A and B are shown apart, each in its own frame.
Chain A
Amino acid sequence: DTGVSQNPRHKITKRGQNVTFRCDPISEHNRLYWYRQTLGQGPEFLTYFQNEAQLEKSRLLSDRFSAERPKGSFSTLEIQRTEQGDSAMYLCASSLGTGGKNGYTFGSGTRLTVV
């Protein structure tokens, strides 16, 4: 297994456009998380899945954000009508249960720039 994979690595989009990111977790991990990180800050929780069920979504997340994890495998995060404030690094992580001694494994992230 090569770890958590995120695509694309970088995305530049014009304000108002929709964007979609993909995350492929470690195959045996049942939990998948999305985080957003801006410069100089720690990752901010967005949402997480256990298998295909979305268990929690941050109340700070606007309705423009939606995430799916069909069949409990890969996940997609879509941002509709992007705004400049959406510019950030979007991180995906996966775990078996609540992480345990191996923690949560993060991908390299997708850097979004909204111009």
Chain B
Amino acid sequence: EDQVTQSPEALRLQEGESSSLNCSYTVSGLRGLFWYRQDPGKGPEFLFTLYSAGEEKEKERLKATLTKKESFLHITAPKPEDSATYLCAVVSSNTGKLIFGQGTTLQVKP
């Protein structure tokens, strides 16, 4: 069964303190791995899609990488406005549905 596990569950950083979020997955044929940002009371907002091991995507202070078993979301010099829950999800070649992890809640203090 397809499964996604994210760690840590919660992360507190000082402004400017870089760190990484982990997403481990097991899937029967990866069609795509997705990263989303979710603010309280809102729907998830799309960040990146990664398709194959070795692929990297960047957007402002965020960089996502992918291996055969996990993905990392690197946050460089975060700002308080980066505070949110970051969700990782996979789509397998057997089905078209997104399977989500439980998310990592990031808090960046000024």
Show the binding face of A for B, using Cβ within 8 Å: 4, 31, 33, 35, 40-45, 48, 50, 55-56, 91, 93, 97-109, 111
Nearest CB of chain A from residue B44's CB, rounded to whole Å: 5
Q: List 6 A-B contacts (CB under 8 A).
A: A35-B100, A41-B102, A45-B98, A99-B32, A104-B98, A108-B43
Greatest chain A CB density within 10 A among B4, B45, B87, B96 is at: B96
* Contact flag A103-B46 (CB < 8 Å), given A42-B87, A42-B102: yes
Q: Which residues on the B side are within 8 Å of A91 (C-beta)?
A: 43-44
Q: Which residues on the B side are within 8 Å of A56 (C-beta)?
A: 95, 97
Q: From residue 58 to 108 of chain B, which have CB atoms closer than 8 A to chain A? A: 87, 89, 91, 95-103
Are B97 and A106 in contact, CB atoms less than 8 angstroms apart? no
Are A107 and B43 in contact, CB atoms less than 8 angstroms apart? yes
- Assembly CA distance A71 to B47 (angstroms): 30
- The number of chain B residues with a CB under 8 A from chain A is 26
Is residue B109 contacting chain A, with contact meaning CB distance below 8 A?
A: no
Is residue B25 contacting chain A, with contact meaning CB distance below 8 A?
A: no
Q: Which residues on the B side are within 8 Å of A31 (C-beta)?
A: 96
- Assembly CA distance A56 to B2 (angstroms): 15
Are B32 and A43 in contact, CB atoms less than 8 angstroms apart? no
* Contact flag A45-B103 (CB < 8 Å), given A101-B49, A103-B46, A109-B42: no
Are A109 and B103 in contact, CB atoms less than 8 angstroms apart? no
Which of B32, B87, B101 meets A98, CB within 8 Å?
B32
